[in-house]
Chains A and B, each alone.
Chain A
Amino acid sequence: MQSADAARPSGSGRSGVRRRLRRRSRRGPPAPGDPRNIGWLYVLPGLAFYGLFTLAPLLHTVYYSLFSWDGLTAKTYVGLQNYSSALTDAALRSSFVHSAVLIAFYAVIPVLVGLLLTAALTRHPVRGFRFFRTALFLPQLIAGVVIAQAWTWIYDDNGPLNWALRKVGLGSLARPWLGDFTWALPSIGAIGTWVTYGLCMVLFVSGVQKIPSTLYDAARVDGAGATREFFAVTLPGLRGEVLVALVLTTINALRSFDIVYNTTAGGPGGSTLVPSMYMYQNAFLYNKVGYAAAVATILAVTIFILAGLVLRVGDRSERA
């Protein structure tokens, strides 16, 4: 971009154009509209709600995290002590480890499954994709509490999963999945996979439609098979979509509360404890409000850093 700009003749009459071009290269398309400070009039009401009920509480959480407080009696200022105890808190550490496992299930597996399905679908135009899309999108709109009830039944001792296992002679594998120390966390992870893979898939398939078909024609003329075609054309073309899917699903994994609370509530024996659940327990069950605020702050910072990292990496690779 920079070099193309410099190559332009630098006549004085062009300087306005050049400046505009340079601004475009730095900040994307120029902002529309002429300067009108009346814009503030339209922004202020919405900004007020957002500031008062979203941003301010977040800052307030950070403030609480500097205190030792049971929620009833007076607060005592303790500086960063909540954070130093967080560093050595085994339960908090394990909750983040559980989150990492959930990221594999909520983000990595759905993206891989989505890519695989997309690969299967790009060789030939599929008719009636809209019909399938209806089904694939369904998990996205169902409340977490309802999803939790549905899967609690699927994993139930007498539920469909164990019934099917017994039917096919794998009865030794049957167990109350959500009550099992080893299997509860992967079982919750599988719920996350179920919720997200359809979204990833629809996202990728709509992305493929934006890849110029000439690229596919060229690959086919060169005699590329399905695999080559996928890695040479489809995957590079979907980089943006894959990144976005990873950001969204990773954030969802880190934030997961509804499903955990309504299936295992962190149990058995803390084996499915996740940070938001731990925050809730500390704030509203153990009366350790200051510490809960510190956990919430750590979670928020983790999410912002992860999202920022992925978006920045994506931004760079898109420009390259």
Chain B
Amino acid sequence: MTAGYFERIGAYGVLALFSVLAIYPVLSILFLALHRKTDLVSGFAFPTRLDLSSFKAAWTEGRFGTGFKSSFIVAAAVTLVSAVLSIGTGYAFGTMRFIGDRIVFPVILLGIIFPYEATVIPLYYDFQNVPLLHLHLLNTYWALILPQIGQSVAFGTFWMRSFFRSTPRSLIEAARIDGATSFGVLWRVLLPQARPAVTTMSVLVFTYTWNEFLLALVLVSGSQSHQTAPLGLSFFAGAVRAGDPTKVAAAAVLVAAPILVVYLFLQRHFVRGMLAGAIKE
């Protein structure tokens, strides 16, 4: 009994320790951001007053108004379009059999472990002058939106397929006997139930797109008005960090804030999506 008691205390202690370790770096940068340069911060830097001046300075000097706008446009477009596309592909792979499905699905699955680092070089050159169409997409939102839709469809297909596979067959069959078309089955029967699955997928895709860095660095760093928030943070840090770490810290907190707020409200979706995405592979 007492041994069990101590084991239990130990378990909670270990959990608490590692949870604090997980949070601490985030807190430390928040603490730093609540100071100003003249405070000459060092060490743990627990803030003694609520000083938001670094946030104000970072927001204007780092042009984060533009960065947030760009990030939001890109992430919203990618999330919306890839959700629609993935509902389609997931529906087909999850409820139908068609010629070639056994070949195409693994190819799409490949996209989940896909090293997209290996695609940025041709994207950079092809977006300067899109083959056949002669469009210039470099330094536009398109350059970020199109490739990230392609990447998100891989995860989305996999995710929506496992949802559609788990819905009862009888439901689909009954609707078909009633004369519903394949689109009718999807729209009226399956989608109303799919809302939680679609929410999880959208939350994850939005987060990944918001946080993306390499594509932005390569494809839009030439246009200040199209820079995403993480790219803006990277440039801002490069220019300002040596002079004033508190401002960079404030900027970092700003960039992370939208996702953290969403996480607080939709936590279950994050955890479920990331765990399932990991396990069902």
Residues of A whose CB lies within 8 Å of any CB of B are 31-43, 45-47, 49-58, 60-61, 64, 71, 113, 117, 120-121, 123-124, 126, 129, 132-154, 156, 158-160, 163-164, 167, 194, 197-199, 201-203, 206-207, 226, 240-241, 244-245, 247-248, 251, 254-255, 257-258, 261-262, 276, 279-280, 283-284, 289, 292-293, 296-297, 299-300, 303-304, 307, 311
Contact = CB atoms under 8 A, between A and B. Distances in A.
5 contacts: A42-B88, A121-B14, A257-B214, A261-B213, A289-B125
Given A158-B43, A297-B118, A145 B98 contact: no
Q: Is the interface of A mostly helix, strand, loop or mixed?
A: helix
A280 B23 CA distance: 31
B230 A143 contact: yes
Nearest to A116: B14
A46 B155 CA distance: 11
Nearest to A53: B150
A165 to B, nearest CB: 11
A143 B211 contact: yes
A31 B97 contact: yes
Q: When A and B form their complex, which 9 residue pairs have the shortest distance between CB atoms, in order from nearest?
A: A163-B43, A53-B150, A57-B119, A143-B211, A39-B98, A60-B122, A46-B85, A39-B92, A158-B42
A30 B149 CA distance: 30
A292 B121 contact: yes
Contact of B114 (A40, A54, A159): A54
B260 A141 contact: yes
Contact of A284 (B19, B110, B218): B218
B37 interface: no
Given A45-B88, A145-B230, A245-B278, A296 B211 contact: no
Given A32-B165, A145-B213, A160-B45, A240 B97 contact: no
Interface of B: 4, 7-8, 10-12, 14-16, 18-23, 25-26, 28-29, 32, 41-45, 81-82, 85-86, 88-89, 91-102, 104, 107-108, 110-111, 113-126, 146-147, 149-151, 153-154, 156-157, 165, 169, 172, 182, 207, 210-211, 213-214, 217-218, 230-231, 233-234, 237, 241, 245, 248-249, 251-253, 255-256, 259-260, 263, 267, 270-271, 274-275, 278-279, 281
Given A40-B92, A137-B274, A262-B237, A64 B122 contact: yes
B98 A248 contact: no
Given A43-B104, A197-B18, A202-B271, A57 B97 contact: no
